[in-house]
């Protein structure tokens, strides 16, 4: 029973990261320079999330990623304090 709890806690802790990777994968199709997913992961800084790098169709995904980034820090802190 304890192992199942640890698996659930681990999955919930890393859920925002997995969701962020999924959104980045979907957003990579809308890059203006055509570099795709490889260009996003090779650019390892916050400049990869500039709005001018993406077409108008991908702007809603970019907003979701920024919202997820704002929620991640409180998620990790609250989750670690309450469950850890």
- Measure the CA–CA gap between 61 and 63, rounded to whole angstroms: 5
Count of domains for the chain: 1
In angstroms, how far is the first alpha carbon of the chain from the final one?
Answer: 17
Mean pLDDT, residues 60-83:
91
Q: Residue 59 pLDDT more than 90?
A: yes
pLDDT in tens, 27-36: 989 988 887 7
What is the pTM for the complete model shown?
A: 0.82
- The parent domain of residue 17 ranges over 2-83
For 6-47, the pLDDT digits (tens) are: 888 888 889 999 999 999 899 989 988 887 777 777 776 777
Confidence band for 72, pLDDT divided at 50, 70 and 90: very high
Q: How many CB atoms lie within 10 A of CB 35?
A: 15
Task: With a cut of 70, say whether residue 84 has pLDDT above it.
Answer: no
């Amino acid at each position: 029973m304890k192992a199942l709890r640890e698996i659930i806690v681990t999955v919930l802790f890393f859920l925002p990261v997995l969701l962020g990777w999924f959104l980045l994968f979907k957003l990579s199709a809308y890059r203006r320079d055509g570099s795709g997913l490889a260009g996003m992961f090779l650019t390892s800084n916050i400049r990869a999330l500039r709005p001018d790098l993406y077409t108008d169709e991908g702007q809603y995904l970019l907003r979701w990623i920024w919202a997820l980034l704002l929620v991640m820090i409180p998620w990790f802190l609250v989750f670690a304090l309450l469950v850890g």
